[in-house]
Structure 1
Amino acid sequence: MRRRAGADRGNADDAGRDGSRGDECRRTARSRARSTDGDDLHFESGEAYVRDWALPQFYFHLNTAYAVLRHHGAPLGKVDYVAYALPCLRPGTAPGG
C-alpha cells in the first residue's frame, strides 16, 4: 500500500510539470484506475476521472474507515467532520452543550 501511495504521489507531482493548467477538456492519454476485476478503466477527461472514480473511491473508503472505527468504540461524530462550522451554530445548540 505504501508503494502504491508513493507511486500516486509521484504521478501527482509530475502532473503539472509540462506547463499545463489542468484543462478539463483535455483527453487523458492513459488511466491508472483499475476496476475490482483488474481491468483498466479509461476516462474521457481528468474531470470525468475525478467525478466518476476518484471521489467515489475516496468517500467509500472514508465512510468505511469511519464505520470500522465507530464499531470498535472510537468516539467519533459529526463534530469531528465539521468542526470548522461550530462558530456558526446558534448559542446553546453546540453538541454536548
Structure 2
Amino acid sequence: MAEAGRHDVGGHTVSGCSPGHDHPQRRHLRPALHLDDVLMRVLRQWSVFDKTGLGADGEKARDELAAFLAKTEATAARFVERWAERRARAAAAR
C-alpha cells in the first residue's frame, strides 16, 4: 500500500501532493495539477487500478496509463525543482 498522499498506480507510486499543491498562491507551479485534482480523482472513483478481469488488452492499457501517469508526475517534479533553482539563483543575484 502506498504512503499517505501517494497512490500505487499499476506498480508505480504516484504522488498525490507535491510542492505547491496545498498553497493556492503557488498552484501555477503545478503543471500536473490537473493530474492530481481531476484525473486521479476520476481514476480512483472508477477504481481503474482495482478492476479485475480486463483481459490482455485491458491490462496492457492500464499498464500504459500507469506509465503515463508516472512520467507526468516525474516531469512535474522536475519542473518544480528547476523553477525553485531559478528562483534561488535570481534571489542570490539581487
User: Please, what TM-score do these two structures have when normalized by structure 2?
Assistant: 0.40
Task: Name whichever structure is richer in strand by fraction.
Answer: 2
User: Please, what TM-score do these two structures have when normalized by structure 1?
Assistant: 0.40
Task: Name whichever structure is richer in helix by fraction.
Answer: 2
Choose between structure 1 and 2 for higher RCO, CA contacts under 8 A separated by at least 6 residues: 2
Which is greater in Rg?
1
